[in-house]
Chains A and B, each alone.
Chain A
Amino acid sequence: MNINFNIAPKSNFITYYLKKIMEKEYKKLFMNMEEVNPSSKLFEKIMLRISREEKLVIVKKRIAVFSVFLAISLGGFVYSFITVQNAFVSSGFTQFFSLIFSDFNIVIAYWQNFLFTLLESLPVFAMIISLVMFSIVLGFLTFLMKDMKFINSNNILRKKYGY
């Protein structure tokens, strides 16, 4: 039923008439409409999705923070690794160690002196710093991988089940 509201006079009678028509139409509409029976697990699913979305927000923030820390610690590790390399050269360790290849028989004959020389020239402090930096990098990488895995599993669930 088409009513041109532009030409309809604005009186109480017309408003009343229109309301009646609308009531009739709505009745028809709801009588023909199929009854919706929501799943019994819908509430559970909605709550699950809400909690997952909340966790996702936290995880995304954590990833951003961990990425920054990872970049910083990676820079620190590279710097400490270069320091260790230089320390090996400046302490004479590489020169002492090279004797194994050039004077193997003599080194074996005086192996105790050679071993002490190597141990004494080992840049232990620089190595410890470098190892600590490496473990920090690994730690941040582990956290980051866990969070990435969570996001990935979340995407898979969303694709598979739609929630």
Chain B
Amino acid sequence: MDIKKFFDSKIFIVFFIIGEIILLLLAFGIGIIIGSKKADFSCNMDKNYERNFGGPNIPGDLNGDLGSSHGIFGQIIKIDDNFIIIKDSNSTEKVISVEGDAAIKKFRDTIKLSDLKVDDRIVVIGSPNDNGEIEAKLIRLMPSPPSGSNDPVNNANNNENLK
């Protein structure tokens, strides 16, 4: 069968349109799931703000960004027992709960929570809990970026200093 004829045929056009609609619905569905997860996490964070950060919640502090609920990349600003508080590129602070099964990695080595320090830059993958925290499954210590590079955490810090 001629390929050009096949692409011009009505059957192909009908299937193409149906495929497009399915893709659109799929993207829409994924968007709804992601949005609801972000909103749930944000709501839990808001509810437990005082407990997690020890201060009153300021409305609109998230600058309209709900933030990621399953992972975070940022700079450690506090380590307290099994909890790490991280500031991300939007200057949003999030609490990471580190349980025993969490893998903490530095290059090829597995390290302990006590090896992490304030100002370290880490990437965390985990799952959100009802307390508005992220339960870490993987924490990777990232090397410091070279000075002058386009680093989101440094950019956020610089922007905050300018304010």
Contacts and interface: CB of A to CB of B under 8 A. Distances in A.
Given A116-B37, A119-B34, A120-B71, A91 B140 contact: no
Given A113-B71, A120-B37, A120-B71, A106 B30 contact: no
Interface string B72-100: 11100000000000001100000000000
B103 A103 contact: yes
B116 interface: no
Nearest to B138: A106
B105 A92 contact: no
Contacts of B70: 113-114, 116-117, 120
B155 interface: yes
Nearest to A110: B137
B36 to A, nearest CB: 12
Where chain A touches its partner, the secondary structure class is helix
Q: What range describes how many residues of B lie at the interface?
A: 20 to 34
Contacts, number: 78
Interface stretch (B8-16, B17-25, B121-129): B121-129
A12 B94 CA distance: 116
Contacts of A98: 123
- In this complex, the member of B68, B74, B88, B89 whose beta carbon has the largest number of chain A beta carbons within 10 angstroms is B68
Contacts of A103: 103, 105, 138, 140
Given A99-B140, A106-B103, A119-B30, A91 B89 contact: yes
A143 interface: no
Contacts of A116: 34, 37, 69-71
Interface string B35-79: 001100000000000000000000000000000111111100000
